[in-house]
Structure 1
Amino acid sequence: MSPGRAQEANVTDRTDVVVVGAGPVGLAAACALWHRGVRARLLEAQLTPQRGSRAVQLHAPTLRVFRELGILAEAEKRGLRIHANEYHLAGGRTLRIELGVDNEPLMLPQEDTCDLLERRLEQLGGRVERGVTVTEVRTHDDQVTVDAEGPAGAARIEADWVIAADGVRSPIREQLGIGFTGTPVPVDFLIAEGRVEGRPADDAVHYFLGLAGSVVFASLPAGRVRVSGAVSPDHPLTEGGVQRLLDERGPGGLRVASLDRVNGFHSQERIAERLREGRVLLAGDAAHTHSPIGGQGLNLGIQDVHNLAWKLAGVIDGRFAPGLLDSYDTERRQAAGQIVHNTHRFLRVFTLPPAAAQVRNTAWSALESLGLLRRWFAPLLAGWRVRYATEGPAGRGLPRPGTRSPHWTAAPLPDDRYRLVTFGGRSLRLRGVAFAALRPALVRHAHVGRGGPGFVLLRPDGYVAASGTTPAHWAHAERLVAASAADPDPSRGAGTTAPLLWRNTL
């Protein structure tokens, strides 16, 4: 790679997609598109990659995306797996919650995440064009025109689509007149990274829930740690200020040895009023922002990409109807709303006054004794409970449409088709074969002999599109697939038989 070299935005080339912003979301978008054979130009105003940890916690759904992009193994080599959350309550009691394989995050500094994504982008045939500032975006019925300024001067690029991943202050969002609705978070935050002596176990994120306030302590690769918490506006952003935070809210015995960084910042809770304006789509911080509690921000942006890439690639290659992209706006605004709501609640729980904090800690112990912290809170924190509001029936005892299918998935194939899984006897298998044969370019089929009878129709991103047992359920699934198809002739395209299912081990 040559991260310091500015690249000129070539006027003469037309491309499928222009991605603006080479942060983790923009890089992931470009990788996901090239991975699907879509030409994507990635423009970045800065001449060099941004350094620093910033986002460090990659939740399990994000790791699933990294597996699909082919970078999970390298991410795990560089990162640190977290196996548990430990909640340290005032009075000395500690609740250790083993997360289970489906909920375990990976601690990896953002600069490493970006480096892995950029290397993968280059392997796929793309690159980051640095030193290129987008000055104007104009969307037309059949294309988007992007004006940019690079080291070689002005350039104009024509593309079918634009993904704006240009940050929380998104110039493209502002230019298009898209509102960014919400309010400031009424709390100041401190984040520090470095080395701390006497630190607790590296395999857990530690939440010290004291009566005087809370502090979160998380280990990073190479023996470093991150300390974070809500503080008063006048709290010193110094080594002494971090030590004071640990002394007042920690367990005792923690001593700051050295710090690489100490930052204070304010946060906002905002969601763009729409994520699609013609042929321009917003993603990541350009689309939403929220409290840092729970480490959701980067993960939410990666899931934007995961939702969008298969739809956009399918529209570009002519399999899916352009109207399918309207669901990106609807679904990802719903997801952002759920995350903003959850992080707001987390913030309130972790910033209670002393009397209420005592009640919280008692309630936390009760939740742990009932097993709810592991069964309910851990998947919520991991992001598995994000769901989309969908219409249509669901079969009794089967996954509901709009929810994730976190435990079972079809083995990945080099296409983006719906995955129909049938359960039960021979008649269900034959029904599934016939269903997939109607639109082989859009659906592939796998059968599981046990269980049932019934079916689950999974989208390419792993969300449940439909499920059921009755003829009405089957008819709804057929209408759903037909509505997403670009070609009115259902017989076009060649189908394949999907491999058997396998257990997800993230």
Structure 2
Amino acid sequence: MTAEPGTGGRTSVVIVGGGTCGLAAACELLQLGLSVRVLEADPEPPKGSRAILLWPLGLDVLRHLGVYEEAVRRGLPLRALVYHLDGGRRLRSEIGAENEALLLPQERTSRLLEEKLLRLGGTVERSARVTDVVDDGRVVIVKTQGPNGGELIEADWLIGADGLGSTVRERLGIEFPGTTLPTTYLAAEGRVDGEAELGAVHYFLRSTGPMVFAPLRDGVTRLGTPIAPGTALVEETVQQLLDLRGPGGLRVRDLDTLATFGSQERIAATLRKGRCFLVGDAAHTHSPIGGQGLNLGLQDVHNLAWKLAGVIAGSLDAAVLDSYDTERRQAAEQIVVNTGRFTRMFTLGPAAARVRNAAWRLLEATGMLRRRLVPLLAGGRVRYAPGPLTAEPEQGHRLGGRGLRQLPAPGSRTPSWVPPAGAGAGPAFRLVTTGPAESGPAREARSLTATLPQLVGHQHLSRPGAGFLLLRPDGFVAASGTTAEGVRRAKALLTGLAARPA
């Protein structure tokens, strides 16, 4: 490596990539008191948005960063998914509060996060193209090239958030196995004249071909549909496809975005190599059907930030960082499988589509469409398997069952009845107890938090039934149960995570 050494001293964390995930990572780490540098190769923020939908886990990250309310003001709450079948038949699935979703183009999400970054004292260093990354075990050395020459930057840790064609992944020699899917999609965004229900995403599943139709704020609509290779990218094509596959009676005008993209299913061979981590599209990619891509990347960041901050601060053992690859690989694998299924359902041929539509009509009639399909689309079924940060379920606990007064199993998302931790909450666990204040779990919880005040705080809720939840800083359940013994096992889990004396 030959370049001028950096003049700003060694940085705690260098983030390569100033897109949505890189911005979120910078904001989380700055809130936790770390020094960061954000390097972005492009001179300007990108125009247009591939992602438009934030599901509950993505919104949790915005809430943690204190920008949730502003996101809602700039977006459009999603109330329903509407499936349009041949013959004018419509199936409607209400989203419901537990699957809260927001239609917000990714360009606006990135702008919101960059504004937050500036308020935190950070910035995006644009036109800073990373050309090499070396991890010598003690420090990460990043070589950049810009308009004014090159620079060598030293950092304790590096986060690669530089997208599908990640330079970080390539320079670290991390393979990106998987497959390229055969379907090419057209994405168009602009003004469409005609009546269209706001607050709903419309799936047209007709024998003429599928189409997704999503009215956004300010009169803008997003269209997505599979197309044949070589299809002309002109407004007339969009109009023809809309007439053929859409609701009819709509007129396309003033398109701001018109592009095609392919789809792949890939997960990096490792999401951590030494002092370097991959997040977002640099780590994994999958079918766009279902709108999970950006949400998955934001959760990567949320999973990593508190662990990294805890290790740097000396409160967590460095081995905690190994869980990043394990857990986020589990999440990515689950999302890849689910979006693959959605894609196959979405792109069936005419004969198979008729069978699918008949099955969906039955599911709607029984209420199963909303109870099963919407939570899957929302990403709410993502689970972490038992491991160093996730306890085994208490004996007799059945995931999704009622044996523990509907307490969620370890590895699942914090339930909606637990008050949010609040914006900027530190890298500490929360031990939430319910039932009588002098129950066994509540007494044991007070003892635990007095013993490990640097790792966990206690909150008691006046809610029927004695029980407890040990909640991780990223909003997932580390342990749950109804007994004092369960709380003592949770204490053993926390003790195992604490940094060892030097």
Regarding TM over 0.5, the answer is yes
Q: CA deviation at 1:471?
A: 5.4
Q: CA deviation at 1:385?
A: 1.2
CA distance in 1, matches of 2:497, 2:372: 33
Q: CA deviation at 1:288?
A: 0.4
Aligned to 1:412: 421
Aligned to 2:99: 103
Q: CA deviation at 1:487?
A: 4.0
Task: Give the length in aligned residue pairs.
Answer: 482
Which is worse superposed, 88-97 or 177-186?
88-97
CA distance in 2, matches of 1:78, 1:476: 44
Q: Secondary structure at the match of 1:461?
A: coil
Q: Is it true that 1:59 corresponds to 2:55 in the alignment?
A: yes
Q: Secondary structure at the match of 1:408?
A: coil
Q: Is it true that 1:446 corresponds to 2:462 in the alignment?
A: no
Cα gap change, 1:50 to 1:369, in 2 (>3 Å): same
Q: Secondary structure at the match of 1:154?
A: strand
Q: Is it true that 1:374 corresponds to 2:374 in the alignment?
A: no
- The code of the aligned residue for 2:380 comes to W
Aligned to 1:256: 252
Q: CA deviation at 1:188?
A: 0.9
Q: Is it true that 1:33 corresponds to 2:38 in the alignment?
A: no
Q: Secondary structure at the match of 1:338?
A: helix
Q: How far does the alpha carbon of each residue in 1:397-455 deviate from its partner, in whole angstroms, 9 at most, with x for none?
A: 22111111241334425322111112222133211101111211001111234333221
Q: Is it true that 1:464 corresponds to 2:477 in the alignment?
A: yes
- The code of the aligned residue for 1:27 comes to L
Aligned to 1:432: 445
Q: Secondary structure at the match of 1:294?
A: coil
Cα gap change, 1:152 to 1:49, in 2 (>3 Å): same
- The code of the aligned residue for 2:413 comes to R
Aligned to 1:388: 384
Q: Is it true that 1:479 corresponds to 2:492 in the alignment?
A: yes
Aligned to 1:145: 141
Q: Secondary structure at the match of 1:295?
A: coil
- The code of the aligned residue for 2:68 comes to L
Which is worse superposed, 158-167 or 428-437?
428-437
Superposed, which structure 2 residues align to 1:73-222 within 5 Å?
Answer: 73-222=69-218
Aligned to 1:503: none
When normalised by structure 2's length, the TM-score is: 0.92
Q: Say whether the 8 Å CA contact 1:36–1:415 is kept in structure 2.
A: yes
Q: Equivalent pairs: percent with the same residue?
A: 55
Q: Secondary structure at the match of 2:88?
A: coil
Cα gap change, 1:17 to 1:74, in 2 (>3 Å): same
CA distance in 2, matches of 1:368, 1:311: 42
Query: What is the aligned counterpart of 1:246 among 242, 245, 249?
Result: 242
Cα gap change, 1:358 to 1:228, in 2 (>3 Å): same
CA distance in 2, matches of 1:488, 1:422: 30
Query: What is the aligned counterpart of 1:47 among 19, 25, 43?
Result: 43
Aligned to 1:276: 272
Unaligned stretches of 5+ in structure 2? 398-402
Unaligned stretches of 5+ in structure 1? 1-7, 490-506
Cα gap change, 1:438 to 1:156, in 2 (>3 Å): same
Q: Secondary structure at the match of 2:87?
A: coil
- The code of the aligned residue for 1:466 comes to A
Aligned to 2:291: 295
CA distance in 2, matches of 1:382, 1:393: 24
Q: CA deviation at 1:477?
A: 1.2
Q: CA deviation at 1:366?
A: 1.3
Q: CA deviation at 1:34?
A: 0.5
Q: Secondary structure at the match of 1:356?
A: helix
- The code of the aligned residue for 1:335 comes to A
- The code of the aligned residue for 2:63 comes to R
Q: CA deviation at 1:199?
A: 3.8
Q: CA deviation at 1:22?
A: 0.2
Q: Say whether the 8 Å CA contact 1:80–1:220 is kept in structure 2.
A: yes
Query: What is the aligned counterpart of 1:364 among 360, 366, 386?
Result: 360
Q: Is it true that 1:344 corresponds to 2:356 in the alignment?
A: no
Q: How far does the alpha carbon of each residue in 1:145-201 deviate from its partner, in whole angstroms, 9 at most, with x for none?
A: 222223332212111100000110111101111110100011111111112222420
- The code of the aligned residue for 1:481 comes to L
- The code of the aligned residue for 1:245 comes to L
Q: Say whether the 8 Å CA contact 2:29–2:309 is kept in structure 1.
A: yes
- The code of the aligned residue for 2:499 comes to A
Backbone CA RMSD of aligned residues: 1.8
Which is worse superposed, 476-485 or 122-131?
476-485
CA distance in 2, matches of 1:10, 1:115: 28
CA distance in 2, matches of 1:431, 1:470: 9
Query: What is the aligned counterpart of 1:423 among 434, 455, 466?
Result: 434
When normalised by structure 1's length, the TM-score is: 0.92
